[in-house]
Chain A
Amino acid sequence: EAEVAQSPRYKITEKSQAVAFWCDPISGHATLYWYRQILGQGPELLVQFQDESVVDDSQLPKDRSSAERLKGVDSTLKIQPAELGDSAMYLCASSLVSGNTIYFGEGSWLTVV
């Protein structure tokens, strides 16, 4: 069964350092999502791609974060400088098109110390 791949699974970084997460969606899925989930809360959408274009990044702290999806396939989410409040799980998900069933990867746990 096709899966959404993410790496790294776990990351510990010091405050003010740079961190990057990678996601490979299910083959053929046009829509890719990055969510952030703080412990005890539901996932919050950070950025949504339709193919290579960003269609929603309203919750992405753009002064410190960026996301790209070159060629409309895999995607990278970068945070620099990392802050203590960035400690969370970062989830990547994909769907065939916007509005279809959404499939999540295993997530990347970030701890900022």
Chain B
Amino acid sequence: GIQVEQSPPDLILQEGANSTLRCNFSDSVNNLQWFHQNPWGQLINLFYIPSGTKQNGRLSATTVATERYSLLYISSSQTTDSGVYFCAVEEISGGYNKLIFGAGTRLAVHP
């Protein structure tokens, strides 16, 4: 199956700093999604991004499918950005799309 690797595994930022999270995947995928898991465990979909670039406020994401990676940019980080960021890629399995998650990047933003 597809392997998904995220880096860095842990990241500590001072409020206001910018950061880039990376997701590498081992094979061609139909799609890619970025999620944020808050400290209470809730997973929120940030981006649905098979290719190209999308922006939502202080967050933006770029996927280069031909080179098998995606980047999540966080600008002017806030303490509420803390949590775990997951990249998940879709592979076709038995005719259906199956979402495979990476191990995540744990982000702590300090005031």
Contact = CB atoms under 8 A, between A and B. Distances in A.
- Return the 9 tightest CB-CB contacts between A and B, nearest first: A42-B101, A99-B97, A104-B43, A98-B97, A55-B96, A98-B96, A101-B48, A107-B41, A43-B101
B16 to A, nearest CB: 28
Contacts of B90: 99
Q: Is the interface of A mostly helix, strand, loop or mixed?
A: strand
Contact of B99 (A33, A50, A107): A33
Interface residues of B, number: 27
Interface of A: 31, 33, 41-45, 48, 50, 55-56, 89, 91, 93, 98-104, 106-107, 109
Contacts of B48: 100-101
Q: Is the interface of B mostly helix, strand, loop or mixed?
A: strand
29 contacts: A31-B96, A33-B99, A41-B104, A42-B4, A42-B86, A42-B101, A42-B103, A43-B43, A43-B86, A45-B98, A48-B98, A50-B96, A55-B95, A56-B93, A56-B94, A89-B41, A91-B43, A93-B43, A98-B97, A99-B31, A99-B90, A101-B45, A102-B33, A102-B45, A102-B88, A106-B40, A106-B42, A107-B41, A107-B42
